[in-house]
């Protein structure tokens, strides 16, 4: 039986493709019509073709708990998620505004700390965070920008409004999957690209490269740019290799680099040492330099912080930028936008309760069963409590955790996240999703056309992380004429 959109109902949720049963949204009209013209058999064929392509292209990811199995095929749903270009332009402007404000904040935080003096953000919640790194004080990176590459997670609520769920300012991953998803879709649905303008996504590596070279302390045509990876056991290793290749630069591990007596970073090469200008690091702050941070780090480079502080090498993202990647700090971003840019936030935050505040904590403890509680400092969806789905025992445990360490928890209402149709074994069905666009900031900022759509493949699930049963979709920014 071909797809009948009249029988597709996402209920109370905003659906990205179907506005109400039988009625696709304008930007998705052609897709919906095309999909319903295919037989079950044809749909199955396309799904198999996508799996074969993913397998053949070697698009993999790693789940740490799986031991030796370090590359699993990337779970992918073939039905693209569609956003109209007009709507997207507003989101782009909002994300660009947001990252500018955040970078002003980090620069302020490690230098003058005016925002604390002016009482806009309480000093203790930031300075007390383990992501605030004292050795970064007094440094101004190139362009005054700390977080050059970020990936904010966006969700839509039941009315279809985009909201920022969190900012990933350290080493956000997923951009290679965004590009590869498009390659897969082109193989599976080449017919669909004929009749509409879908913005290409493969410019990203060039934009990334241009931004990275703009940070170089030596002004030369091709500065030595490297991608620093913790190695093949890292869950995002596929992406590290992908980006290095797409930029035509070297992929290095910490042991490939050393810092010389003059505090320059050098690459160990068969031709002899070569000076490195820019490091796109994909390892966390605290592993970067065992002389300054964790002594037991084997993936870092001793002396790297010295070289960086002297301006002999640029590091993206700058060490210490994680100080703003904290769910408590996140809550203050709209205020930062007003404070630094004198503008109103174009894309709102999800309402957030800070457990460090007595009143807000009292509210959270009382309403915990309706809320989502998150640790301030984790990523990958770990440590999250989803109130409505949790047992009494879990709720009690989290109440206790919050009281023991209020600074480390925030709470948000359980969002009615938007849905989009996913091809299941029993036809199409709505599933919840989010969106991670990637933002580059050097002298100027760029936002990807769309981003990585992550989708919860289990019915009713709100968890989209690939490490926890999530999949992804190609994301199309479509011009509507």
Partner 1 sequence: MLSRVAERLYWMARYLERAENTARLLNVYSQTILDLPHGVAPAWDTLLWITASSDVYGERYQNINERNVIKFLMADLENPGSVMSSVRFARENARTSREILPHEAWELINELYVDLKANAQNSLARRTRYQLLQRVSRTTLQLTGLLEGALNHGMERRFMALGRNLERADMSSRTLDVGAGVLLRNPDNDEVGMAYEGLLWTHQLKTLHALHAYRTAVGPRVEVESVISFLVDNTAFPRALGSCMMTLHNTAEQLPRPEVPMEMVSAVSQRLHRFKTAGVDGVALHRFLDNFQNDLIRLQAVFDETWFHATH
Q: Which residues bind partner 1 (CB under 8 A)?
A: 49, 186-188, 190-191, 193-197, 200, 203, 205-206, 209-210, 222, 245-248, 479, 481
Taking the least distance from each CB to partner 1, the nearer of 163 and 267 is 267
Report the residue number, 248 or 388, with the smaller CB distance to partner 1. 248
Q: What tokens does 140 get?
A: 């101004």
The reply to whether omega before 346 is within 30° of 0 (cis) is: no
- In the bound state with partner 1, the residue whose beta carbon lies nearer, of 304 and 478, is 478
Cα–Cα distance measured from residue 426 to residue 398, given in angstroms and rounded to the nearest whole number: 37
Minimum distance, C-beta of residue 251 to partner 1, in the bound complex (Å)? 12
Nearest CB to partner 1, comparing residues 3 and 478: 478
Q: Which is nearer to partner 1, 215 or 305 (CB)?
A: 215
Residue 193 beta carbon to partner 1: minimum distance, rounded to whole angstroms: 4
Q: Give 169 or 478: the residue with its C-beta nearer to partner 1.
A: 478
Q: Are 102 and 147 in contact (CB under 8 A)?
A: yes
Measured from the CB atom, the residue of 208 and 439 that comes closer to partner 1 is: 208
Would you say 184 and 208 are in contact if contact means Cβ atoms under 8 Å apart?
A: no
Q: Taking the complex as a whole, how short is the minimal distance between the CB of residue 242 and partner 1, in angstroms?
A: 12
d(CA 177, CA 438): 12
By DSSP bridging, strand 371-375 and strand 314-316 are unpaired
CB of 188 or CB of 462, closer to partner 1: 188
Q: Which residue's CB is nearer to partner 1, number 69 or number 245? A: 245
Instruction: Measure the CA–CA gap between 366 and 364, rounded to whole angstroms.
Output: 5
Contacts of 150 (CB under 8 A, 6+ apart): 99, 102, 167, 168, 169, 172, 317, 438, 439, 441
CB of 209 to partner 1, least distance (A): 5
Shortest reach from residue 182's CB to partner 1, in Å: 9
Kindly state the smallest distance separating residue 264's Cβ from partner 1, in Å. Answer: 22
We find the least distance from the C-beta atom of residue 198 to partner 1, in angstroms, to be 8
Cβ at position 191, least distance to partner 1 in Å:
7
Q: How far apart (Å, rounded) are the C-alpha atoms in residues 302 and 195?
A: 55
CB of 342 to partner 1, least distance (A): 33
- Rounded least distance, CB 173 to partner 1, Å: 19
Closer to partner 1 at the Cβ: 202 or 459? 202
As measured in angstroms, the least distance from the Cβ of 415 to partner 1 is 34
Q: Which is nearer to partner 1, 124 or 203 (CB)?
A: 203
For residue 328, give Cα distances in angstroms to 128, 354, 475.
12, 7, 30
Cβ distance to partner 1 smaller for residue 195 or 271: 195
Rounded to the nearest whole angstrom, what is the least distance from the CB of residue 44 to partner 1 in the complex?
Answer: 14
């Amino acid at each position: 039986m071909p797809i009948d959109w009249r029988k597709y109902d996402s209920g109370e949720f905003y659906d990205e493709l179907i506005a109400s049963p039988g009625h696709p949204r304008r930007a998705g009209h052609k897709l919906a019509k095309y999909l319903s013209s295919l037989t079950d058999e044809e749909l199955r064929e396309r799904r198999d073709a996508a799996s074969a392509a993913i397998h053949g292209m070697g698009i993999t990811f790693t789940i740490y708990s799986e031991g030796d199995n370090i590359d699993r095929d990337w779970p992918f749903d073939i039905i693209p998620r569609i956003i109209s270009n007009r709507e997207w332009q507003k989101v782009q402007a909002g994300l660009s505004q947001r990252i500018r404000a955040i970078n002003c904040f980090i620069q302020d935080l490690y230098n003058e700390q005016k925002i604390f003096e002016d009482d806009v953000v309480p000093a203790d919640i930031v300075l007390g965070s383990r992501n605030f790194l004292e050795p970064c004080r007094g440094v101004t990176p190139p362009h005054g920008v700390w977080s050059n590459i970020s990936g904010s997670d966006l969700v839509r609520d039941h009315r279809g409004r985009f909201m920022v769920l969190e900012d990933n300012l350290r080493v956000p991953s997923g951009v290679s999957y965004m590009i590869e998803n498009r390659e897969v879709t082109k193989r599976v649905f080449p017919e669909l690209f004929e009749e509409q303008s879908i913005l290409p996504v493969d410019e990203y590596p060039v934009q990334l490269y241009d931004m990275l070279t703009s940070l170089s302390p030596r002004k030369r045509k091709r500065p030595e740019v490297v991608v620093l990876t913790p190695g093949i056991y890292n869950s995002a290793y596929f992406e590290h290799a992908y980006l290095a290749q797409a930029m035509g630069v070297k992929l290095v591990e910490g042991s490939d680099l050393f810092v010389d007596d003059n505090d320059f970073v050098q690459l160990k090469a068969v031709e002899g040492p070569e000076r490195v200008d820019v490091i796109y690091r994909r390892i966390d702050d605290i592993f970067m330099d065992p002389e300054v941070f964790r002594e037991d780090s084997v993936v870092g480079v001793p002396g790297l912080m010295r070289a960086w502080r002297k301006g002999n090498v640029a590091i993206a993202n700058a060490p210490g930028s994680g100080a703003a990647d904290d769910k408590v700090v996140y809550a203050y971003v709209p205020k930062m936008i007003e404070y630094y840019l004198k503008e109103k936030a174009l894309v709102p935050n999800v309402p957030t309760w800070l457990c460090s505040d007595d009143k807000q904590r009292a509210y959270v403890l009382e309403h915990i069963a309706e809320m989502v509680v998150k640790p301030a400092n984790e990523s990958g969806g770990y440590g999250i409590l989803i109130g409505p789905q949790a047992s009494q025992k879990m709720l009690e445990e989290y109440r206790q955790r919050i009281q023991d360490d209020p600074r480390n928890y925030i709470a948000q209402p359980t969002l009615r996240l938007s849905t989009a149709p996913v091809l299941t074994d029993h036809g199409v069905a709505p599933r919840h999703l989010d969106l991670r666009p990637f933002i580059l900031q050097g002298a100027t900022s760029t936002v990807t056309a769309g981003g990585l759509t992550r989708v919860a493949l289990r019915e009713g699930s709100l968890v989209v992380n690939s490490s926890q049963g999530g999949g992804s979709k190609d994301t199309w920014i479509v011009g509507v004429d």
